[in-house]
């Protein structure tokens, strides 16, 4: 990874669900304004790893992190118990596997993140909502029904709405947890195009169970297995010329 600005550095990350050692000694650098994909068979820990970045694990009891995830440029360890998870989530946003818009209007869904930060000025909200919806390639489809319920949208549109919602707070890193696994192929390709556009503005970390998707859109790919990072490198190398035998077996479909 030469000549890349590093946005986040993961150092010796270990994670425990109670007694279960779910992630072991992960070391990885996330490049700024690039797409890094996490692939691996079910249960390898990629979603667990992703959720460390925005401290989602803090919502549930008996979880423990050790190690560091250093966020640059201010060099803060975002998994330190001294760092408030809420502050982390204000800088790092997430898009979930199954679209989960709020049962509110389209406008209110996107505006929610701003309201949480104390913004209530109507014109400022409108401006940001429009900007985010444009950024999510949804603006043209919903511009004249912003006050209609978000649930009226199709699955693909709902997911783009969730992306707009995540963008509205101008995050430094955007986390995607298998964002297209619940969508049809057309919606999927729209979102993949979107991600390729978005990386110009924001660092992206995406978990996917679909290798072809990683090959299509990711600049860097990490392969995980049983809670460990097996191999990490630029996507071309991983897919064409993997160094590790396990990686090669997964890529060629021998398991997973």
Partner 1 sequence: MAIHMSKKIKEGIIETSLFLCALSSVLITISIVIVLGYESYGFFKVVSLKEFLTEKEWTPLFFEPKFGILPLVTGTLLTTSIALLVALPLGLMVAVYLSEYAPHRMREIIKPVLELLAAVPTVVYGYFALLFLTPVLQKFLPDLSGFNALSPGIIMGIMIIPYVSSVSEDSMKAVPMHIKEGSYAMGATKLQTAFKVVIPAAFSGIAAAFIIGISRAIGETMVVAIAAGMMPNFSVNPLEPVQTLTAYIVQVSLGDVPHGTIEYKTIFAAGITLFMMTLVFNLIGFWLRKRIREVY
Partner 2 sequence: MEDIKQRIRISKYWNGVFWIIGFLSTLVGLVLLLVLMIDLFIDGAPRLSYKFFSSFPSRFPEEAGILSAWVGSFLVLLVTAGAAIPLGVAAGIYLEEYARKNWVTDIIEINIANLAGVPSIVYGLLALGLFVYLLKFGETILTAGLTLALLILPMVIMATREAIRAIPGSIREASYALGATKWQTVRWHIIPYSMGGILTGIIIGLSRAIGETAPIITVGALTFIAFLPAPPVTSEFPFISFKWLMDPFTVMPIQMFNWVSRPQKAFQMNAAAAGIVLMGMTLLMNGVAIYIRYKFRKKIKW
By CB under 8 A, name the one of 115, 143, 145, 148 that touches partner 2. Answer: 115
Q: Beta-strand (E) ranges in the chain?
A: 6-17, 20-31, 35-39, 63-71, 76-77, 92-95, 173-177, 203-207, 220-225, 228-234
Number of residues that bind partner 1 (CB under 8 A): 5
Establish if 75 lies at the interface with partner 1 (CB under 8 A).
no
Number of residues that bind partner 2 (CB under 8 A): 26
**Whole-angstrom distance, CA of residue 249 vs CA of residue 122:** 54
Which one of partner 1, partner 2, none interacts with residue 246, CB within 5 to 8 A by kind? none
Establish if 116 lies at the interface with partner 1 (CB under 8 A).
no
Q: How many other CB atoms sit within 10 Å of the CB of residue 236?
A: 12
**Rounded to the nearest 5°, which phi and psi values hold at 192?**
-65, -40
Closest contact distance (angstroms) between CB of 118 and partner 1 is 9
**Whole-angstrom distance, CA of residue 129 vs CA of residue 165:** 8
Q: How many other CB atoms sit within 10 Å of the CB of residue 136?
A: 27
Answer positive or negative: Cα dihedral of 242, 247, 253, 254: positive
Comparing CB distances to partner 2, the nearer of 95 and 215 is 95
Contact segment (CB under 8 A) with partner 2 among 23-31, 64-72, 84-92, 119-127 equals 84-92
Which one of partner 1, partner 2, none interacts with residue 100, CB within 5 to 8 A by kind? partner 2
By CB under 8 A, name the one of 6, 76, 137, 226 that touches partner 1. Answer: 76
Q: Do residues 169 and 117 lie in contact, with contact meaning Cβ atoms separated by under 8 Å? A: yes
Closest contact distance (angstroms) between CB of 53 and partner 1 is 16
Contact segment (CB under 8 A) with partner 2 among 6-14, 21-29, 55-63, 234-242 equals 55-63
By CB under 8 A, name the one of 16, 17, 112, 139 that touches partner 2. Answer: 112
Residue whose C-alpha is closest to residue 170's, from 93, 253, 238: 93
End-to-end Cα spacing for the chain: 27
Take residue 228 and report the two structure tokens written for it: 């460990």
Q: In the complex, which residues of this chain contact partner 1 (CB under 8 A)? A: 74, 76, 84, 86-87
Q: In the complex, which residues of this chain contact partner 2 (CB under 8 A)? A: 54, 56, 59, 61, 86-87, 89-90, 93-94, 96, 98, 100-103, 112-113, 115-117, 151, 162, 165-166, 169
């Amino acid at each position: 990874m030469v000549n890349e600005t590093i946005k986040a550095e993961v150092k010796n990350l270990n994670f425990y669900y109670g007694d279960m050692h779910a992630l072991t000694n992960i070391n990885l650098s996330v490049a700024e304004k690039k797409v890094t994909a996490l692939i691996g068979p079910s249960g390898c820990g990629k979603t667990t790893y992703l959720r460390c970045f925005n401290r989602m694990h803090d919502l549930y009891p008996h979880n423990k992190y050790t190690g560091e995830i250093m966020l640059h440029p201010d060099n803060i360890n975002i998994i330190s118990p001294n760092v408030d998870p809420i502050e982390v989530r204000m800088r790092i946003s997430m898009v979930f596997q199954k679209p989960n818009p709020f049962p509110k209007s389209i406008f209110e869904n996107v505006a929610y993140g701003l309201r949480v930060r104390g913004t209530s000025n109507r014109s400022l909200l409108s401006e940001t909502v429009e900007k985010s919806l444009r950024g999510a390639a949804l603006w043209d489809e919903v511009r004249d029904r912003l006050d209609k319920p978000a649930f009226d949208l199709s699955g693909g549109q709902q997911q783009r709405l969730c992306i707009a919602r995540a963008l509205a707070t101008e995050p430094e890193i955007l986390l995607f947890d298998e964002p297209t696994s619940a969508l049809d192929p057309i919606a999927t390709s729209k979102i993949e195009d979107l991600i390729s556009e978005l990386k110009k503005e924001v660092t992206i970390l995406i978990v996917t169970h679909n290798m072809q998707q990683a090959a299509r859109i990711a600049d860097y790919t990490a392969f995980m297995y049983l809670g460990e990072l097996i191999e990490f490198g630029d996507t071309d190398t991983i897919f064409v010329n993997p160094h590790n035998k396990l990686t090669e077996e997964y890529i060629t479909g021998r398991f997973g």
